[in-house]
Amino acid sequence: MIYCVSEPFVFVRLEKGEPIVATLTDLCAQLGIRSGWVQAIGAVDRIEYGAWDIDARVYHKQVLEETLEISPISGNIMLKEGKPFLHLHATFAGHDFMARAGHLFEARVNPTLEVFIGVLPELLERRMDDATGLYLAWPL
């Protein structure tokens, strides 16, 4: 990973084999980013994604191991239980050019991913909402 900071933005380039969510979460903790937004394009060779089942209150998950174009990943950064948490959704397509999408749990970069992070001055956090079973966004 390489990155550069030009406040209020951070550019990050992830390299082959790096896990997207774990690497960006660690970088946010390292840089003290507690609220913001994320936009990324590139490609991966493994992705774990899902869709929330409102009635069962679980994510239906799927893992794909194939070359996929990320077009794009988008999401946000908020504190969850005091630590930076990235909520990311991904749209992606393989060699059939058919788009799929979902909540991104993790993906492995191959060969590169180009990420812009916008850092927000206001702090936001996620709090458990019993009505939905989800950690919803709240201003601090």
Binding site for Zn ion (CB under 5 A): 103
Least CB distance to Zn ion at residue 78 (A): 12
In contact, 124 and 35? CB cutoff 8 Å: yes
- DSSP state string for 55-97: TTTEEEEEEE-S-EEEEEEEEEEEEETTEEEEEEEEEEE-TT-
Nearer to Zn ion among residue 3 and residue 135 (C-beta):
135
Which residue minimizes CB distance to Zn ion? Answer: 103
Nearer to Zn ion, 72 or 110 (CB): 72
Nearer to Zn ion, 51 or 123 (CB): 51
How far apart are CB 87 and Zn ion at their closest, in Å? 6
Measured in whole angstroms, how far is the alpha carbon of residue 5 from the centre of its chain? 19
